Structure 1
Amino acid sequence: MTTELEMDIAPESGKKSLDIGQILRAKRLSLALDERQVATELKLSIDSVYALEDGAFTRFRSATFARGYLKSYCRLLGLDHNPVLEAFDQQQLVKESHLRPVDNVQVQSSGRDPIFIIVSFIIIAIIGFVIFWWPSQSSEPEEAYAAAQQEQISEDNTQLEASEASSNLDSLAAAEDKSEPEPAELDSNVDFSELADTAATLAQGSGADVVTGLSAETIALLEDAGVDPEQVEEATREPEVAPVVQVETPEPAVASHDIVIQFSADCWTQIRDSSGRVLFSGVKTAGSSLELDGQAPYRVTLGYARGVSKFIYKGEAFDFSSYVRKDLARFELK
């Protein structure tokens, strides 16, 4: 077996790489700060501060987090973060160089190999099992399902016939019980002039629920009493009222979330509600968004304010530029 070694070598930068940890430590000591003070200001653990000064960037979850912490550390110490971040990026490129063994020898399997024969036999047995046994098993559930469907249809038809028969019996019984009312005998002592006044009074008090037209029997009684039916009908007729059209007013749009933030660059973000509960605390990467709901007022801290492309509070854009100090924004939303 022959083996070749391929090595990817990163391009040389032409300059000596900076010792990032030594630079940070020296600047911190010159400012008379200890590790615990730095950890408190950056809201990191003291072990993370040790890792940054030792150059142990692999202890962090990703290179993006380590790069962000370095940038924040440089700002805290008053250092220019550009040379430090360039050195960090150069170190990451160097770490990507590695050795990869390449094996050019290909082992060809022989058809007489016992392992090859056993594996082939197992594969053929599985294929035969699937072809012959599976269709017979899958057909049984289909037959059972069809039988259950047929039984359900029969029960539905029986219930439908029973309900129709019951409704027919009820209609016949109601028809037998219903009888036409006998016409009332006309009293010869009825004062037909009072009848006309009563009809007009009832028509005026009943409103839209009374039919204004007079029946043939009423017209005959009025004519027999010497009253003009047209005058009675005219007195009972109500003027037409135009229908009232109700116009529906659209309901105002309701914001789906109290806080909506969109990010164009990596930004450390922390948001607390009125109870002091932390709704979110961490780094949001470029292109991501954050949607939160809680109890106002909210206390918001943005570690890199320029990384926020849009900030919406209760459905309206919020301008927090007046609260930004050296790319750090702290404000309260009521």
Structure 2
Amino acid sequence: MSSKESQVDEQNTESRPTPGEMLRNAREKAGLSQQKMADKIFLKLKNIKDIENDHLDDTMSATFAKGYVRMYAKQLGLDENVVLAEFNRIHTTTKPPAKLQSFSKRVAKQAHDDRWMMVTWVILFLLLAAFVTWWYQQSDIGSVLDNDTTEETQNTVVMPSQQRNMPEVAANAPTEPESSSTEPAISTESASFDTVNQPAAAQANSAETDAPEQDAADSIDTNETAVSDAVTQSQEVAVETLNETYSDVVDLVFTFDEDCWINIEDATGEAIAYGVKAAGRVMPVSGQAPFKVTLGAPEGVSITFDGEAVDISAFQNGRIARFSLPMQD
């Protein structure tokens, strides 16, 4: 194509009206304002102005824009195809190819994400390690407390027998010197007897002197045996008393006519029953007396202690009852 023909085409193109001009001229001939036109085709005033100025909003799809132009042309009685052809000529442009993301930027972003992921995993690992360490320390503390409690219980059981036996032995210990003092008294009497009976034979005096000494020795042995027997009996009584104090097991039976919350502790401090018990339940328990009993609803509970019924009518006043079994008269 020659340069002259190109110039002619450009002049023809420039002389042809744009779709916006075509629509504006037709609207003005019809005597309609832009606002009235917008009301007729149910568009915003801004859309009418953009169409007449051949402006395509970047936020609007080309398909919607063509629809607006078609309605506008149809409302004014213009040829829709001619107007749309001019619209396509003006607004149809080749879109530039999308820019490819740089490979280096993608690699850098991936490395950045990997670093954050690594930091997250490290934090989670530290939190888990701290929790495990705390749990292990709590377990060790619990074991130490249990061992200390066991040792204190053993010491509490053993020490009373030692304290009871030691004074008895100390009280009986001076008995031996008193018995031993009998020998000088007997010897003095023997000496006086020998002085009065000096004319007697030497063999008779020797026999008479040995006899009291033998009696004194027998008396000392008898006293030592009596002391040993007394100490042994005292130890046996103390052990029996201690066993009775710490080993007596008593049976209790709780009968619930209503739902009731309870807490029962025996003499060792162990909670042998606790929680809410349902109505109609018969609950036997056993432990070392005395017992500490707490009842949330005592009016619905009956108790037998070691086979005998317990009178708790004084506590059945609609309040929480706290008392000990056996009850003190």
Taking structure 1 as the reference length, the TM-score comes to 0.30
Kindly indicate whether structure 1 or structure 2 has the higher relative contact order, using CA contacts under 8 Å at least 6 residues apart: 1
- Specify which structure has the higher proportion of helix: 2
Taking structure 2 as the reference length, the TM-score comes to 0.30
- Structure with max Cα Rg: 2
